[in-house]
A and B are shown apart, each in its own frame.
Chain A
Amino acid sequence: MSTDPIWERSRNDEPDVPLAENIAPGTANDPDAGATESATVTVDGQRVETETGATLLDACQAVETRGDVLALCSYDDSQKIGPRSECRTCVVETERHGVVPSCSFPPRDGMTVYTDTERASEARDVNLDLLLSNHNLLCTTCGKNGRCELQDVSIENDVIEPRYGVMHDRSELEPLDDSSPFIQIDRNKCILCNRCVEACNDVQVEGVLRMEGSAEDTRIGFQNGAETMMESTCVSCGHCATVCPTGALLEQGLVDATTLPVPGFTHKNSAEGIVDGEYDHQPTQRTPMKSELETQNEPRVNERFTTTGDDRS
């Protein structure tokens, strides 16, 4: 009988095949954000010490800033999500680099940052309004009403009338994806912050969601090429809905949680069309979940550019 202590035989090394090998989220191979060393910076005249890995946003959040640094798409990056730095509502002005996105810009020793210069405030205002211009702003039938991050920053930023309007023309709306009994997708409210894609791929390592398309056709889609949530390999863990800053991904039970109690006044009635509402008749309430089929968009070497149809407008 071996007298080795039990832990001698334990395996604490990484698995041979990385779990994420076949995951293709459709997003860029971003570098780590944050500083490689600690620094002392000045934010609106106040000295801030920052640690390794910190961003300018961390520095701004450590003090009372004069301007509201909105940082809508930003999420806690210690949870492997972000910074995506897509919404550009976190920009601040630095003496050396001009306006920069604070959510991903590394503090460097001696850096001087202002949050309330005209250029920084204007940039945050315009970019927030640009986000709203592509958002279906029917808050009164939205399940996220009152706990929506986009709504919060709009209130915080005193948005009364977004300068580019909001998306209200029904012909512009994408149908609701109501196919799954667990999670509903309303892409008309998606701000493409990518949090759900990262939660699905980097945290849950499920490889269901991806970013697809380009330009105005950019949208959240499925790695197995499915058109609806129910046909995807979703395991209904709900992490995507948890991190979604708007009402784009919602747990089914909360779809009308904050809708005014007026008959016929529902979230579904606010949309132009609905995809696959009748999941009751399906053999199972689960999605097919993991299939043995490979994802359709695994990275391949060299022959990969032959079709671009999906990504072209």
Chain B
Amino acid sequence: MVDERIIGETPAVRVATGSENHHDGRELLHEANESETSVTTAEVGSVGHIDLEPLVVATVEGKTAFFSRPSTERMETITRTLGEGTVPTDGAVAVVEHDPETARLPTPETGPLGTGVRRVLGGCGWLAPTSIEEYTDVRGERFTDRAEDDPESVRTHVMTSDLRGRGRGDASGDASVAAEWTTVYETADDPVVVVNGNEPDEHADSDRLLLESAPLLVVDVALASAVALGATDVVIYTNETEQIARERTRKAAAALDDVTDTEIPIRIITGPDEYKAGEPTMALEAIEGNHRIEARRRPPGPNEHGVDGRPTLVHTPRTFAQLGQILNGTGPVGASADPGTRLVTVVNDDTTAATVELSTDATLEAALSAVEPDSGWSGACVGGVFGGLTRSLDVPASASGLRSARLGTNGVVELLDKSTCMVALAGERATFAKEMNCGRCVPCREGSKQLVDLLHRVYDGEYKDGRLRELVRIMRTTSLCGFGRDAARPVTTAIEEFETEFTAHAKGHCPTGICNRS
């Protein structure tokens, strides 16, 4: 039987899927319900390892076995074995013993599922995503209730923390969340809290993962933030195409609204499935309903002039999840200047991807076991579509660590093997910038055009590195929003780290062979 509540049930089977494998997951769940009625079943969100999913999580007492993409026949066997009171282990990718009442996904020590830590991701793939009863039981006290009882303690916790924003969609960027809160709180006029969950970057999966697998956590912290800041509106801004994330978030918001009495309306507004629309000020434009989305001039930023000109706190789901950790007071973790964890999606060769959680004082290398790259990799693009190219992942997962390595902070590590041409990759990203920008400011709109042109010329034998460096410098320092400032990063880092490839191309030779024109 399907239950809204799954924690502590035994025997139990959870089917974990993200939107990618949702249909297959539904079939397995159906099969489990058909074949054995004494087993409690639940549809849960992705654990982050979409390539292992649908992931069947079979539990009896304090023992859990994981099965990756089983057939329906196999599913039937698993469920029947569970019905007999035994955990099936045949063909399991991992078997783990744990506290029967644990609220976190039990994971093995090694292998993909054992990669990283599970603090904000703890409930992902383990808790029923939209069950407010289960969420409340596990937490003891909801963040929103606590904020209503003592808003000042919530503010103080956040405003004295060293937490930094997570993700390009966060208005505080990589800078202090406390400063953002202080400005919103001190600006007159009723504030708005925005959950910016629109991240159309192809590989940056963290926000979607949180909204699909732990929507109650995100919405609860956002609502608590609204109470603490005296805000009168919460807006959850998602991508139009992310239907499961939106539906679960809607349910989570409705459930929270039922059990709390904040009288703060939570609206869900969708934006276009375009990379630019995740930029915080373009998110504001989409929320206001502008038919054309372009970046908004700053300063003052969204924290003073946000939705309809009201002071607005814009955080990503990732940041709200970190704020939950701060409010939990579960002890410091990570680098002192950038406490907490960072969600990182590791992409190997465009065929496997997994989102894992790293302490900010771990290095990015710690994430690699999530995808078990076998063929060896020769470089990586770190930070999403406008990430930085590097040969080494011996880089701390903190904002300052990533920044000093000139890499991006948007939580993506794309592994690149020897067949990747760095010049072609840089050109591809420059072309993306040229085609996808909002069109407002000159350094981004015209700069990206000239950047593509200068890269074309490399193939004509003209590698003007001075011109290239000058242009990317100006794009980075004078663009109006984060889109243009980040857009130059792939080219900047490609020149720094792989310059010999540029000079080789200018001589008509592509080291990987893929650019050689006939």
Contact = CB atoms under 8 A, between A and B. Distances in A.
B478 A211 contact: no
B445 A216 contact: yes
Interface in B291-308: 291-300, 304-305, 308
Nearest to A300: B289
A10 B447 CA distance: 55
- Where chain A touches its partner, the secondary structure class is loop
B281 interface: yes
B478 A123 contact: yes
A305 B441 CA distance: 23
Contacts of A142: none
A307 to B, nearest CB: 9
B462 to A, nearest CB: 13
A211 B292 contact: yes
B374 interface: no
B294 A27 contact: yes
Interface in B260-292: 269-272, 274, 276, 281, 284-286, 288-292
Interface stretch (B209-217, B347-355, B467-475): B467-475
A313 B431 CA distance: 12
A214 to B, nearest CB: 4
Contacts of B269: 302
Contact of B281 (A28, A130, A215): A28
Contacts of B453: 164
B477 A299 contact: no
Contacts of A83: 297
Interface stretch (B58-66, B382-390, B432-440): B432-440
B270 A127 contact: no
B294 A98 contact: no
Interface string A139-183: 000000000000000000000000110000000000000000000
B442 interface: yes
Contact of B442 (A119, A130, A299, A313): A130
Contacts, number: 151
Interface string B443-456: 10111111001000
Given A215-B435, A299-B291, A99 B478 contact: yes
A197 B145 CA distance: 48
Interface stretch (A84-92, A253-261, A269-277): A84-92
B257 interface: no
A5 interface: no
Given A106-B299, A212-B292, A302-B269, A86 B274 contact: no
Given A26-B292, A214-B294, A299-B290, A192 B450 contact: no
A130 B296 CA distance: 21
Interface stretch (A12-20, A29-37, A44-52, A58-66): A29-37
A31 B288 contact: no
A313 B274 CA distance: 12
B439 A217 contact: yes
Contact of B445 (A91, A123, A164, A215): A215
A134 B441 CA distance: 13
A299 B474 contact: no
Contacts of B308: 29
A213 interface: yes
Given A105-B299, A216-B434, A122 B470 contact: yes
- Of A26, A214, A218, A302, most B-chain CB atoms within 10 Å: A214
A86 B439 CA distance: 9
Interface string B240-264: 1000000000000000000000000
A301 interface: yes
A104 interface: yes
Nearest to B290: A299
A101 interface: yes
B373 interface: no
B309 interface: yes
Contact of A29 (B272, B290, B440, B471): B290
7 tightest A-B contacts by CB? A218-B439, A31-B305, A26-B292, A130-B446, A28-B296, A126-B474, A299-B289
Interface of B: 240, 269-272, 274, 276, 281, 284-286, 288-300, 304-305, 308-309, 434-443, 445-450, 453, 467, 470-471, 473-474, 477-480
Interface of A: 24, 26-33, 83-89, 91, 98-99, 101, 104-106, 119, 122-123, 126-127, 130-131, 133-134, 163-164, 191-192, 210-218, 297-302, 304-305, 308, 311, 313
5 contacts: A26-B290, A28-B294, A31-B296, A99-B477, A127-B442
